Amino acid sequence: MYFLELGGEDDAFARCESRQAATGVRPIAPGLALANAIDPAKVRGLAYTHAASTLLGRTDASLESARILLEAARIDRTGSVAVRATDIHGLTGVSTTQVERELGGVLVDRGFSVDLEEPDHVLRAAFSSGEIDGDGDHADVCAIGWLEAESVRDFGSRAPTDKPFFQPGSMDTLLARAVANLAGAEPGRTVLDPMCGTGGVLVEAGLLGADVIGTDAQAKMVAGTRTNLEHFLAVDSPSPTGVSRGAWHVARGDGTRLPLRSNAVDAVVFDAPYGRQSKVETHRLEELVSGALAEARRVADRAVVVADRHWRTEALEAGWSLEAAFERRVHRSLTRYVLVLTDGLEERPIE
């Protein structure tokens, strides 16, 4: 059994992304989830999961309970150790410094030495309290376990404004990585973005090891995406997540009439034009997105769509089944909707 420390403000969205790296994921408290199994390599590539740890046990969110749990736990490790404690979103008010000191003392009493720089093992203690997904069920939890994998937090180095090619409205890097994960980007898979814009999603999918294909109706965007992919993917060394960077190809094209055979790719991802910001007329926008959804259905059996409105009806009409849907508020005048679409599944309840 493992516990996951989630990031961001939307736990349901974070859990959905984490299922690309873990099985049996279910919530236990705000910012915390349990999992039956994990793939450490994939955990390193997650955007909204900070860490995954082997669970020693869980108790209520107090230092005394955490100490009693650790004193009673069966431990089969030896060597040096560091203790890392976190109070998720500051919900419990526990002193993480005191937690680290007292739990470290318990481990020293059990034969461990302390090494804060390069320990053999890291003990994680995560405290949380509050309603789970706002459904009225209250949780008060401390989860303790051995760190197995952490996500690589290098997203700041690829901020949209710091890329070689930038346009206003570009998707932020964290969301682009999460969307790439939801599409199943990994070595051996091919991800297509038929409205690639500046190529942000393609960069993240490529860093996860997927081969990526991009098209866009605007020559300027095609050229800019090539510049960004050359900068981030045309490197011989492994990506920060430890996998080889994927191959890439970008060309000018119409997302409603792709020059690809049926079932040519594993997944399609696109950030649909936003009604208020797009120069496309409303009726033309609806035709464009409906056509892109139909083409995506022809060339792949999985898709992730990001937009400023809910294109659920159009997705179902194009033959997709809805696996999950999320609303992510960006600011007062913009809410992003994320649809995860699959082929051949019964429509599932939306988290």
Burial of 212 (0-12, 13-18, 19+ CB in 10 A): buried
In-domain check, residue 187: yes
Indicate if 248 and 202 belong to the same structural domain: yes
Task: Please answer whether residues 266 and 302 qualify as being in contact, where contact means their C-beta atoms are separated by less than 8 angstroms.
Answer: yes
Measuring CA to CA, which residue among 26, 3, 1 is closest to residue 351? Answer: 26
In-domain check, residue 100: yes
Indicate if 133 and 228 belong to the same structural domain: no
Indicate if 11 and 29 belong to the same structural domain: yes
Q: How many domains does the chain contain in total?
A: 2
Q: What is the pLDDT of residue 351?
A: 46
Indicate if 304 and 220 belong to the same structural domain: yes
Amino acid at 28: I
b (16+ CB within 10 A) / e for 94-126: bebeebbebbbebbeeeebeeeeeebebbbbbb
**Structural domain boundaries, residue 128:** 2-150
For helices 173-182 and 11-18, angle between their N-to-C axes, nearest 10 degrees: 50
In-domain check, residue 293: yes
Indicate if 97 and 188 belong to the same structural domain: no
Last residue of a domain, one of 91, 123, 150: 150
Query: What's 332's domain CATH number?
Result: 3.40.50.150
Q: List, run by run, the mean pLDDT of 10-residue segments along the chain (351 residues).
A: 96 97 97 98 98 98 98 96 97 97 98 97 97 83 98 95 93 96 98 97 98 97 97 89 95 96 98 67 83 97 95 96 92 87 62 46
Q: What is the pLDDT of residue 133?
A: 81
Indicate if 242 and 299 belong to the same structural domain: yes
Strand ordering across the sheet containing 138-150: 26-29, 32-35, 2-6, 49-59, 138-150, 121-131, 80-87, 113-114
Indicate if 235 and 138 belong to the same structural domain: no
Phi, psi angle pair for 87, to nearest 5°? -105, 100
Query: Tokens 């033959």 correspond to what residue?
Result: 319
In-domain check, residue 319: yes
In-domain check, residue 92: yes
In-domain check, residue 316: yes
b (16+ CB within 10 A) / e for 67-92: bebbeeeebeeeeebbbbbbbbeebb
Indicate if 278 and 303 belong to the same structural domain: yes
Last residue of a domain, one of 131, 150, 169: 150
Measuring CA to CA, which residue among 261, 262, 287, 285 is closest to residue 274? Answer: 285
Q: What is the pLDDT of residue 281?
A: 57
Give the integer Cα–Cα distance in Å for 297 and 154. Answer: 33
Indicate if 241 and 131 belong to the same structural domain: no
Task: Please answer whether residues 148 and 135 qualify as being in contact, where contact means their C-beta atoms are separated by less than 8 angstroms.
Answer: no
In-domain check, residue 255: yes
Indicate if 62 and 165 belong to the same structural domain: no
Indicate if 44 and 60 belong to the same structural domain: yes
Give the integer Cα–Cα distance in Å for 260 and 279. Answer: 27
In-domain check, residue 350: no
Last residue of a domain, one of 150, 179, 207: 150
Give the integer Cα–Cα distance in Å for 312 and 326. Answer: 11
Indicate if 93 and 237 belong to the same structural domain: no
Q: What is the pLDDT of residue 349?
A: 42
Instruction: End-to-end CA distance of the chain: give it in Å, rounded.
Output: 23
Which DSSP category does 254 fall into? B
Chain centroid to CA 94: how far? 28
